[in-house]
Each structure stands twice: as C-alpha cells, then as structure tokens.
Amino acid sequence: MKISGKCPKCGSSDIVRVNGEVGPSGSGNNIIIGKTIFSAVKVNRYICCECGYAEEWIDKNDIEKIKNSKKAIR
Ligand SMILES: [Zn+2]
C-alpha cells in the first residue's frame, strides 16, 4: 500500500497515512525498544478508506534500532 498506493484487498487508491506517535508514558502507535519512551519507534499506518484494511510500516532509519533490540525470528 505504501509502495503501490493501492489497497491489496479491494484495489482502491483511497489510502490515508496516519503517522505513529509517541505520547507521554508511551501512548500512541509505537514500539518501545528501551526502558524509556525516548527509545520508542513510531509505527505509521496506511489505511484504506474503502474497506478499512490497514498496513503498518516503520521508518527505515528506525529499523536498525528494532533489529538491535529485538531478537529476529528465524
Ligand atoms: Zn481496501
């Protein structure tokens, strides 16, 4: 969706991006990777306005942070 601009479920191009947030005490759509909210990684959502399908994406420069803090599933 982020790349194609189209919903994979219904084919609609009516997509909105909702930016992830890190609020006080870690509220909002994010992943906490450390002990404090300062190490939280924001999770951005792409939502199809047609059928309600949603995808979640993490910014590329945040992926390293997650890689370093979580164990990869193999
Ligand atoms: Zn859709």
**Ligand 1 centroid, distance to 7 Cα (angstroms):** 5
**Domains held by the chain: number:** 1
**Ligand 1 centroid, distance to 25 Cα (angstroms):** 33
**Ligand 1 centroid, distance to 23 Cα (angstroms):** 29
Is position 1 within any domain?
A: no
Residue 50 to residues 19, 38, 45, 47, 68, Cα–Cα distance (Å): 19, 35, 15, 9, 37
Is position 22 within any domain?
A: yes
**Ligand 1 centroid, distance to 53 Cα (angstroms):** 5
Is position 21 within any domain?
A: yes
Is position 32 within any domain?
A: yes
Domain assignment of residue 55, given as a range: 15-69
Is position 56 within any domain?
A: yes
Judge whether residue 71 has pLDDT over 70: no
Question: pLDDT tens, 15-57?
Answer: 999 999 998 888 889 988 877 777 889 999 999 999 999 999 9
The SS3 assignment for 57 reads strand
pTM: 0.79
Q: What tokens does 33 get?
A: 């990777």
